[in-house]
Structure 1
Amino acid sequence: MLKNRLVAFMVLLFLWTGISQSHQFYGYPYVQKIKDFTLIDHNGKKVKFSDFRGKYLLVFFGYTYCPDVCPTSMYRIKETLDRLGEYKKYVHVLFISVDPERDTPEALKKFISYFDPTGKYITGLTGTPEQVKKVAKQFRAYYKKVPVKDNPEVGYLVDHTAFIYLIDKNGIMRLIFRPANEDPEKIAEDIKYVIKYFGE
């Protein structure tokens, strides 16, 4: 079983290396199969990662109380979606909360409405601290509570990675966009290329 998985991974890596040579990616090329998981969406409904199979996904870990990084990153994602043109219909965004204690479905719904008033393109996800930790581990996403001693009303902030992950329609991570990848036009071009290569 392990040998078969290793062979499959090497094939994927070989193919992806070939793709990377034919296109100068703005994001960081990566190959990783994401295992299925279950969380709660912004409507209070249980959803599985596999429910989004067939869509290209942009995944971001953040939280609604975030004062700067998350709104900025989500706006960059919104701008990216707006630049996808006809390819926008193949892409969906998952905003996964790293602050499940405060990020209720209601809080998530209000937050994502600023970036997707239609509710068609972005899904907010939360869960128990254990569930979120398990999902974040798959993506190697770091987060940690930081107490705010001089502002008891806020209580704490959350330090976290601000990567945007591109997952293909089969649940395989293909690209990682770092905070320095701030150009929505270039991010959109990468996404279009991946969709063209792997199919709509």
Structure 2
Amino acid sequence: MSPRRPVALFVATLLLAALPALAQPAGAQHVPAPQDAAPLMPRYLLMDVQGRAVTQEDFRGRFQLVSFGFISCPDVCPTTLLEVKQILEALGDRASRLQPVFITVDPARDTREVLREYTAAFDTRILGLTGSAELVRRAADSFRVQYEIVREPGAAPDNYTMNHTAGMVLLDTRGRFLARFPYGMAVRDISERIRAVMAGEGR
């Protein structure tokens, strides 16, 4: 993405490109989540767009809906964040009990300022997080999210894309793993699952 290209225009272009992906999720390019019977122990220590340190413990008392991606992602990431917006809308008043989190897997290019504009273009309630390459890798590993740089032979160092695990992970009010929603799962089904979890937690 050119630094001179307005982020809002870039996001609008991505949203238009993502609409067919919403109708045909099977056509998207992404890395499937690894299958592992061991319990998931999600942890992160990252930085928000204001430069403040953030961990999963900061949202105790609220559920978290976490996804990983990168700003120049052409389809999977904008589709996912558009779905997050739709989930928040479907939850209505209960949306205040859910903190959506977007963690970049491309911290070298996704600066805090651009990340702020990018997430806000979908919904201002989405919290963008970044950090050092090491801290992002630790966070991704704890969620069993895989990612790698893909660069064409002879391309410039900053001219690359990313392969990464898509989908969303739901954490409970204590930051513990509840569910993984695969990429392409219907927004209605995800919203109903979250509503059911919230209702059960309140009993």
Q: Is 1:55 matched with 2:58? A: no
Mapped partners of 2:96, 2:154: distance in 1: 45
**Please, what is the CA RMSD of the aligned residues?**
2.0
Q: Is 1:91 matched with 2:98? A: yes
Residue 42 of structure 2 corresponds to: 34
Aligned partner (choices 186, 192, 200) of residue 197 of structure 1: 200
| Structure 2, unpaired ranges of 5+ | 1-37
Distance change in 2, residues 1:190/1:74 (3 Å):
same
Q: Contact 1:42/1:124 (CA < 8 Å) preserved in 2?
A: yes
Q: Is 1:123 matched with 2:130? A: no
Which letter does structure 2 place at the counterpart of 1:172? R
Q: Contact 2:41/2:143 (CA < 8 Å) preserved in 1?
A: no
Mapped partners of 1:168, 1:76: distance in 2: 20
Q: Percent identity?
A: 36
Residue 142 of structure 1 corresponds to: 146
Mapped partners of 2:132, 2:177: distance in 1: 24
1:45, distance to aligned residue in structure 2 (A)? 1.6
Q: TM-score normalised to the size of structure 2? A: 0.76
SS at match of 2:117: helix
Residue 167 of structure 1 corresponds to: 171
1:199, distance to aligned residue in structure 2 (A)? 2.5
Residue 4 of structure 1 corresponds to: none
**Larger Rg computed on CA atoms:** 1
| Structure 1, unpaired ranges of 5+ | 1-29
What per-residue deviation string (whole Å, max 9, x for no partner) do you get for residues 70-119 of structure 1?
A: 00111011111110112111001110010010111111101101111xx3
Aligned partner (choices 65, 68, 83) of residue 75 of structure 2: 68
Distance change in 2, residues 1:148/1:175 (3 Å):
same
Q: Contact 1:148/1:157 (CA < 8 Å) preserved in 2?
A: no
Residue 102 of structure 1 corresponds to: 109
1:33, distance to aligned residue in structure 2 (A)? 4.0
Most deviating of 149-158 and 48-57: 149-158
Distance change in 2, residues 1:149/1:114 (3 Å):
farther
Q: Contact 2:66/2:103 (CA < 8 Å) preserved in 1?
A: yes
Distance change in 2, residues 1:50/1:65 (3 Å):
same
1:149, distance to aligned residue in structure 2 (A)? 4.6
Most deviating of 49-58 and 144-153: 144-153
1:159, distance to aligned residue in structure 2 (A)? 0.3
Q: Decide which structure has greater strand share.
A: 1
Mapped partners of 1:80, 1:41: distance in 2: 22
Mapped partners of 1:166, 1:38: distance in 2: 17
Mapped partners of 1:191, 1:144: distance in 2: 30
Residue 12 of structure 1 corresponds to: none
Mapped partners of 2:68, 2:191: distance in 1: 19
